[in-house]
Structure 1
Amino acid sequence: MLGRNVTRLRKQAKITKQKFALMVNVGRPFLNRIENGTADPRLSVILRLAAALDTTPQELLTDRSDNPARNDVSPRHARLG
């Protein structure tokens, strides 16, 4: 969930992986692992990720699929499914 949320928010902000890695002071390979869900970043990294994405650590660590009201599907498209 952390990786999915970081990827989603980074793309929404239109920030490249290279720029984002520099913003949060991590290597691009480590950022790739975070976004792929194969890294276990320290709290300090999670705090920097959240700050750079203008969100909270809790939001990054929340599985949005558990709460349908928070999904990124517009209400119009939600009725279609």
Structure 2
Amino acid sequence: MLQSENSFFHRFIKRLFYILLIQNLREERMTLDYNEIGRRIARRRKQLGLKQAEVEEKADLSYKYLSNIERSISIPSIEVIMRLAVALDTTPDEFLVGTLQTENEEWKNVAEILRNFDPKKLSLAKNFLIWLSEQEL
């Protein structure tokens, strides 16, 4: 696989992940491991050598909210996770991937199907998923 195709595939998988994550969370078919999310946020903050107050300011969070997230006292919304990702110069999947408590086999099957797609089919599948995510079901 060429570098550009590989990059396209990774971007596509991330977008697919977000679409399915949000859809499944709406349907309450899976939950997130907020303890692990908090640990990952804290680890990233420490890697960058930032204090909690600095990250709270960058992410526009209230005083001590980040501390509560990192210790799993508060549950962050997807929006807050995204703001924290920006403040910590990363992507939300660094905090979310692998924290889903669901049947991993379904995800593996979807990834295997997509892995075998040529770039045209992958583009069509991506456009379909974007359209599907915008529909009221």
TM-score by length of 2: 0.43
2:69 is the counterpart of 1:34? yes
Structure 2 unmatched runs, 5+: 1-35, 100-137
What is the SS of the residue equivalent to 1:18? Answer: helix
Q: Does 1:9 align with 2:53?
A: no
Secondary structure in 2 aligned to 1:25? coil
Match of 2:56 among 21, 26, 30: 21
Alignment match, 1:59: 94
Using CA pairs under 8 Å that are at least 6 residues apart, name the structure with larger relative contact order, 1 or 2: 1
Distance 1:47 1:36 in 2: 18
Aligned letter for 2:91?
T
TM-score when normalising by structure 1: 0.70
Larger radius of gyration, structure 1 or 2? 2
Divergent runs of 4+, >4 A: none
Q: Identity over aligned residues, as a percent?
A: 36
